Amino acid sequence: MATPLPKNRAAFSLAEIVLATGGEARWGEPGDVFTGVSTDSRAVVPGEVFVALVGERFDGHDHVGAAIQKGAKLVIVSRDVEVPHGVAVLRVPDTLRTFGLLGQAHRRRWAARGARRVIGITGSAGKTTTRHVTASLLASLGRSVHASVGNLNNAIGVPTVLLGLEDKHDDAVIEIGMSTPGEIAWASSLVEPDAAVVTLVADAHTEGVGSIWGVAREKSEIFAAGRPRGVAVANADSPGARAGLVRARARRHLLYGEAPDADVRLVSRAALGSKGADVVIEVRRPGVATRIEARLPLLGTAGAYASLAAVAVAVGLDESTASRGADMARALEALREPEDGRLAPRAAPDGTLVIDDAYNANPASMIASIRAAGEIAAAEGRRLVLILGVMRELGVRSDELHAEVGRAAAAARPAALVVVHQDAGAMAQAAEASGVQARRVPDASAAADLALEVAQAGDVVLVKASNSLGLSAVASRLVARS
């Protein structure tokens, strides 16, 4: 489900827009000022700029008239349109690119007004949790934080988030995703991160980039776009992530993870079932060694790694933060649950714990979530039920990678395994070859019916697949028992 686009009050003069984008102003005066930039004609308010984006199934040019009726005073278009007198027009070759450049211009203008910082986060898995923890940690350390929400991490979402920056904000935490080659490079060039983070390089979107090293190249684009006086942060335990540091422009590099050379190192993690884990984190910087002990209310190792990344960002941007171990521990313990669909625990009235991780999936995140759910079930003496669906965009290795997940599912010894969609057949076959029966269903509706049949009161039930499969509805039905 798409995240609604938030409104903004970013103000530009026509002259600023022309210089930022290189567009051709057909009507309007240089000093004309417009407040707010919108790509949705239905949401336009008087005085805004309307950008006519073009997609596979929509064309904003068809809605220019509606935007003007709503009060748009400038329309940005890539072809000629008729507009009434008093409405300015900017003609550009590519409206999506122009929208991005407006986000970049606003980011630069905002950053020039004080000690402000932008954090960019990408990776094959863990982006959203890392964004969530980083924003929370920085806010707890006294910063006013503006952060991405939902799935606003693409060529439309990133500029939308940047345009939401206001004078009250000290930091921006921007998540950057990828569905096609070049997407991270473009988004990162708009974000220009003071702190660039790569959480993981793993098999995801390999259909478009060919191999895991193609993924590594794409993810490392965020390092190449980082500011020279900034910091580059990489997962020390992901060879592809840390290798990407060779492309970093930042003068400081920090590693996090369990590796001996990590600057922010996970010393220990003691699982507490559905309550999270007790973690010990060591921060090692020149002349400073800080130990952070916290009860982390996040599930699985993914939560611990997100916390390490957040600490690395805070310390990398301000070395004095390394001495604030107690403050960081309190901030980590005060973390709220993640957004629905991202390893989010949801309790049903009958005591069933539904782990809703249906927002997205790739082999690395799928295996990590299976292990997290199994860890909870083992710690609390519950049965484990796995509802696992197809993973998209894996290209020629799709069957091989689905089989890898099937073996991981079997290793967790679930009481029941439900595999959703015919394209996940290799997952079911591999699980059965490892001695675990897999029940196959074609879609989310059938998966929900079967999940209600096999799940018993008090079970731990993991629901995970690519978002397009719609398994979030399965999680909701399990929680409601309907």
Domains annotated for the chain, with CATH where assigned, are: 11-95 (3.40.1390.10), 114-333 (3.40.1190.10), 344-480 (3.90.190.20)
pLDDT at 279: 98
CA 315 to chain centroid: 22
pLDDT at 172: 99
Percent of the chain with pLDDT over 90: 89
For the segment 282-308, what is each residue's pLDDT rounded down to a tens digit?
A: 999 888 789 999 999 999 999 999 999
Give the Cα separation of 41 and 463 in Å (integer): 36
Please say whether the beta carbons of 137 and 119 come within 8 A.
Answer: no
Neighbours of 286 (CB within 10 A): 6
- pLDDT at residue 33 is higher than 70: yes
**Residue 107 is inside which H or E element, if any?**
helix 95-111
- The tokens describing 460, both together, are 């731990």
Give the Cα separation of 104 and 234 in Å (integer): 24
- pLDDT at residue 390 is higher than 60: yes
Give the Cα separation of 460 and 443 in Å (integer): 21
Residue 276's contacts (CB-CB under 8 Å, 6 or more residues apart) are 295, 296, 297, 298, 299, 303
Please say whether the beta carbons of 78 and 92 come within 8 A.
Answer: yes
- pLDDT at residue 402 is higher than 60: yes
- Kindly state the average pLDDT of the residues 111-122: 96
For the segment 185-228, what is each residue's pLDDT rounded down to a tens digit?
A: 999 999 999 999 999 999 876 667 778 899 999 999 999 999 99
User: Given pLDDT bands bounded at 50, 70 and 90, which one contains residue 399?
Assistant: very high
13 three-class SS:
strand
Give the Cα separation of 155 and 473 in Å (integer): 27
- pLDDT at residue 338 is higher than 80: no
- pLDDT at residue 73 is higher than 60: yes
- pLDDT at residue 335 is higher than 90: yes
User: Given pLDDT bands bounded at 50, 70 and 90, which one contains residue 340?
Assistant: low
Give the residue ranges of DSSP H helices in 252-384.
300-317, 325-333, 363-380
- The tokens describing 319, both together, are 């070395």
- Measured CA angle at 69 (ends 66, 73), to 5 deg: 105
Distances (CA, A) of 66 to 45, 50, 60: 11, 10, 10
- pLDDT at residue 268 is higher than 90: yes
- What pTM, to 2 d.p., does this model score? 0.94
For the segment 407-423, what is each residue's pLDDT rounded down to a tens digit?
A: 999 999 999 999 999 99
- The tokens describing 10, both together, are 């970013």
Q: What does the mean pLDDT of the chain come to? A: 95
Neighbours of 350 (CB within 10 A): 13
pLDDT at 35: 98
- pLDDT at residue 482 is higher than 60: no
Give the Cα separation of 325 and 331 in Å (integer): 10
Q: What per-residue string of b and e applies to 288-313 under the rule 16 or more CB within 10 Å gives b?
A: eebebebebbbbbbbbbbbbbbbbbb
User: Given pLDDT bands bounded at 50, 70 and 90, which one contains residue 472?
Assistant: very high
pLDDT at 166: 98
- The tokens describing 222, both together, are 């965020």
Give the Cα separation of 464 and 470 in Å (integer): 10
